[in-house]
Structure 1
């Protein structure tokens, strides 16, 4: 008989927590996972999955117009937000059920309560029940940051945006990161007047400068408004229910909805981590070593609650590696180099490896190859919108160290190309590959 109630107790049933629970159980561990909201976490319930479905819905706005140039007699079409919203939420319900079934099939006990840490081997549920575990895994993810301004309670975050009663006619999106740009494209295509407000002067910091400049150019051409270097002062709610965002300088902006997309904070508050001596960094992220172990020997953490990459596939890999290491007798760690990422903006962009600026800092001399072209579909549709592909190469070795692109289906194309960059292939390897014609992806092997 074990001296503990469980071999593993997981707090948080998101992508990382579910993977860790399932794999640990498959290795023979007795596992429980506590989730205070819904199984599936941010990605499935209120993040990348429902957002991507909204993005698919938004694409029909231009696709229906373009269809006329391709011979289809498409009438003027109206859009019903509630139909899309309810169908998306229905799909979220279905996926949550699948996640629950996966845990049940692996004999993982799912406890639908909030759990907090009481010590190196102890947790306490909201109901008052106390449980012991040989190992505790924190996988509570991250939470949207709400700016500290007067009237902030009148704004919403990405948590609430999927549940709106109606599509706004005017929306202000505060932020310049991937969430802000994705929702800007979504609501613009749904017919809303969109204004993006950014306290800085750049969009999508961390992505290649040429690629993000192209997104800004295209977004402005489409009619999305931008307010840079804007310091918010307060939000006023008017008698008719509409909102007005005031700034320290400059004219206020009226809106039906104000969406905060100003970053995400690790969800570590109130977990009782101090009772076990778990160390946090200055942003509240849990400090971990290369095997996801915290400063407490029996407590581990994976996913967005840690001080690593906030990406769902990374959390999944971390959860899997943790379970293999601790319960599978196979010490594994995650390789964070060359992790591809995408922004499902309109159009989408994607990148892997080093940006041009990063490569110059690391290697000194680099070669840059680009293709700036109008996709064939855009030509016949009469759209001037251009795609941009960019390859960054270490001049001394001919090795491709970065690949960045913006244009239709860029994330789908980049996933395969990321394998080549991760494998360390050279520009000559790309050149030696016969083009697949006619396609947008062929530009990758034709770069000059």
Structure 2
């Protein structure tokens, strides 16, 4: 039995950072990782996928070179193995950086293997037993595999497979029209694949406003991505070297060379022995936590994707910040104080913060809304990238900013002007009188404010 002050299970976004804070505070820490340090973000998520998005953007820009008066002298070709080598190197550099960081921490021990609880304060890793009064779960999630008829009879890919795929599929059929699926749809279309997206719901990215969903569909279809929605009876069958996907009654079958499943995520909580430790999970397997990320078992916290409080790298990191602030710095930070923000990394990207217009309307409060096309934004015109819009939503009585979105060039960066104002509790009037830099996308926010009208 080896005793530590704290044990962290999982070396994803929250784990190493927490290990660093605990180590700096003089604690002995064991951090257990069963596969790759860095978690989903570094190994199968943000790092490789956004590197691939960058390659796809470069391909698209090259294809449009003549629009800018640039002549390439020949057709654009894709070296897919080189594309994947670049993405893999970015992943390796980040993973190894995290490993070196953990190795530099005084009092921190990295242990490789799968951890299972034997009681509330003890974990078994192989033949090793570890104990600590404080245990932090940062075990992440993985692709959900649905029970579609015929799925067990065909080969299929998940997001983890896609970031290692060093060939361009002839026809990639993507099941799921949300964030992960759409990013792969556009990038592989730009790499030269025929792509069809099949979505069970009535529209793409169902959590977004309908006009946002419609605009995203138009962007993808303009590049040749085929979209099928309302697929209420998805079935598969193998026919020789191809797969036939049946979306539902009244919809034509789709024949593809490759199938990507992108229908959601599930937490890695099913093989930890949580019940032995008294850690409760909900019906979907997410660990139940309170507003300070404590589980139902004393001395155990859950951070990152496994707690269902956020599905992003930045929310996992904020979980670390909340736990460290509360346990080490004597503060009282809460998850409910977090203002939600995220991005969809198609091109142009969608940056979102706070409530959507539809969510704001559901509250019943009087609201103000401004919606301006990117074709009015000088920076977008100059770049020749005018697809999309900027939207701002505010409370008509208090003038507080409720939410904002940019579906447009630089939207993932420019949204932070509003995100920061919301975190500071600012009103739309304070945003109105900011003096942003010209020429940028962000400079248009004060103009968006002047367009606010009764919603």
Same fold (TM over 0.5): yes
Which secondary structure does the structure 2 equivalent of 1:417 belong to?
A: helix
Q: What TM-score do the two structures reach when normalised by structure 2? A: 0.92
The equivalent residue for 1:7 is 5
The equivalent residue for 1:256 is 257
Q: Please, which of 70, 73, 77 is the counterpart of residue 72 of structure 1?
A: 70
CA distance in 2, matches of 1:442, 1:381: 15
The equivalent residue for 1:98 is 97
CA distance in 2, matches of 1:428, 1:162: 44
CA distance in 2, matches of 1:382, 1:296: 55
- Structure 1 residue 378 displacement after superposition: 6.5
The equivalent residue for 2:343 is 342
Distance 1:393 1:41, change over 3 A: same
Which secondary structure does the structure 2 equivalent of 1:265 belong to?
A: strand
Contact 1:303-1:318 within 8 A present in 2 as well = yes
Distance 1:199 1:243, change over 3 A: same
CA distance in 2, matches of 1:80, 1:425: 48
The equivalent residue for 2:420 is 419
1:38 counterpart = 2:36: yes
CA distance in 2, matches of 1:236, 1:363: 47
CA distance in 2, matches of 1:320, 1:402: 23
Alignment of 1:178-193 (within 5 A): 178-193=179-194
Contact 2:293-2:335 within 8 A present in 1 as well = no
The equivalent residue for 2:281 is 280
Of 203-212 and 264-273, more deviation after overlay is shown by: 203-212
Alignment of 1:284-433 (within 5 A): 284-374=285-375, 385-433=386-434
- Structure 1 residue 207 displacement after superposition: 2.4
The equivalent residue for 1:245 is 245
The equivalent residue for 1:137 is 136
Contact 2:349-2:411 within 8 A present in 1 as well = yes
The equivalent residue for 2:151 is 151
- Structure 1 residue 416 displacement after superposition: 2.7
The equivalent residue for 2:81 is 82
Which is bigger in relative contact order (C-alpha 8 A, separation at least 6)?
Answer: 1
Deviations along 1:19-49, one digit per CA (max 9) or x if unpaired, are 2222111111110111111000000100011
Which secondary structure does the structure 1 equivalent of 2:84 belong to?
A: helix
Distance 1:58 1:377, change over 3 A: farther
Structure 1: which 5+ residue stretches go unaligned?
none
CA distance in 2, matches of 1:444, 1:41: 36
CA distance in 2, matches of 1:395, 1:272: 50
Moved >6 Å (runs of 4+): 380-383
Contact 2:379-2:439 within 8 A present in 1 as well = no
CA distance in 1, matches of 2:368, 2:11: 44
Deviations along 1:344-393, one digit per CA (max 9) or x if unpaired, are 0122111111111221222521111121132557757877x532001111
Which secondary structure does the structure 2 equivalent of 1:270 belong to?
A: coil
1:121 counterpart = 2:129: no
Of 214-223 and 327-336, more deviation after overlay is shown by: 327-336
Of 282-291 and 319-328, more deviation after overlay is shown by: 319-328
Deviations along 1:140-183, one digit per CA (max 9) or x if unpaired, are 01111011122345111101111114111211111122111111
Which secondary structure does the structure 1 equivalent of 2:391 belong to?
A: strand
- Structure 1 residue 135 displacement after superposition: 1.5
- Structure 1 residue 327 displacement after superposition: 4.4
Deviations along 1:295-353, one digit per CA (max 9) or x if unpaired, are 11022111110131111111112123223433454443345442211100122111111
How many residue pairs get matched? 443
Please provide the CA RMSD for this pair: 2.0
CA distance in 2, matches of 1:208, 1:106: 45
Contact 2:6-2:133 within 8 A present in 1 as well = yes
Distance 1:60 1:319, change over 3 A: same
Which secondary structure does the structure 2 equivalent of 1:442 belong to?
A: helix
The equivalent residue for 1:110 is 110
Which secondary structure does the structure 1 equivalent of 2:205 belong to?
A: coil
Contact 2:374-2:408 within 8 A present in 1 as well = no
1:60 counterpart = 2:58: yes
Contact 2:63-2:76 within 8 A present in 1 as well = no
Contact 2:348-2:387 within 8 A present in 1 as well = no
